[in-house]
Amino acid sequence: MTAAARNDAGDPKQSGRLAAAATNAPARRRGRPPAAASTAGDTRARIVRAAVELFADKGFHGTGVAEIGDRADVQRGALYYHIGSKEELLWEILRDYIQLMREDAERIAASGHDPIAKLHRLIHSYVGLIIAHRREVAIQLRDVTALTGERAVQLQDLRDDVQDCWQRVIDDGHAAGLLRTADHVITNSLLGMLNMVTVWYRPDGNHSPGEIADLLAETFLDGITTTKG
């Protein structure tokens, strides 16, 4: 021990300050050195992108955690630090895009437009988001049952919220005499049809997302409206 250290050790005030500093120092999470928040965020974003690609191509069950780490260039120990578990990663991927759908559907449903105009806007919004997040949609269609417990319940609640927005608009249209029916079968079938866009859509196809939305909206509304606008 140096002379300075011996002096500090013999100074009650200095010892108290050292003890307080040790007590107030932020705890360091085991298994990973400290990193800047931006660096941690970038790493997590790489992991999520890698998982989306792999889950879409190989399926949730067909993808190993090590593969995700290799694709994201993240060592396995650091990978678990960022994601917790593979199921947690699946939950986050599905949750994030469905939350976007819910937010847009709620905004449109609460707008001052008439129900027919709202349905046009809902279809355009949904098609645009389905195409922008077609990998996430493909993962949901194939692997949503991999979620268990509370995560499965939370995701279903989000999906129900989206459908409720659509149903309210269709109910309003029927109440106003603009739609022939408000049966839930119609709402379920419409959303199911829109979800399948992800299966056949090609970026180099003949129609833009907006043109696809127009075609689908016209086809649906021609079949359900009581009058032609």
Q: Which of 118, 109, 105 is nearest to 178 (CA)?
A: 118
Burial class (CB in 10 A: 0-12, 13-18, 19+), 222: exposed
Tell me the residue length of the chain. Answer: 229
Provide the whole-model pTM. 0.76
User: Does a structural domain hold residue 21?
Assistant: no
The answer to whether 197 and 212 have CB atoms below 8 angstroms apart is yes
Among 84, 115, 143, the domain boundary falls at 84
Dump the DSSP string for 143-170. HGGG--HHHHHHHHHHHHHHHHHHHHHH
Note the pLDDT tens digit of each residue in 54-72: 999 999 999 999 999 999 9
Same domain, 205 and 155: yes
pLDDT band at 4 (very low <50, low <70, confident <90, very high): very low
pLDDT band at 109 (very low <50, low <70, confident <90, very high): very high
Report the range of poorest mean pLDDT among 96-110, 184-198, 214-228. 214-228
Same domain, 189 and 110: yes
Note the pLDDT tens digit of each residue in 119-172: 999 999 999 999 999 999 999 999 999 999 999 999 999 999 999 999 999 999
pLDDT band at 227 (very low <50, low <70, confident <90, very high): low
Q: At what angle do helices 37-58 and 76-83 cross, to 10 degrees?
A: 90
Q: Is the pLDDT of residue 45 over 70?
A: yes
User: Does a structural domain hold residue 208?
Assistant: yes
**Range(s) of the domain holding residue 218:** 87-224
Same domain, 121 and 202: yes
pLDDT band at 5 (very low <50, low <70, confident <90, very high): very low
CATH number at residue 185: 1.10.357.10
pLDDT of residue 153: 95
Distances (CA, A) of 212 to 107, 166, 193, 201, 226: 22, 19, 12, 9, 23
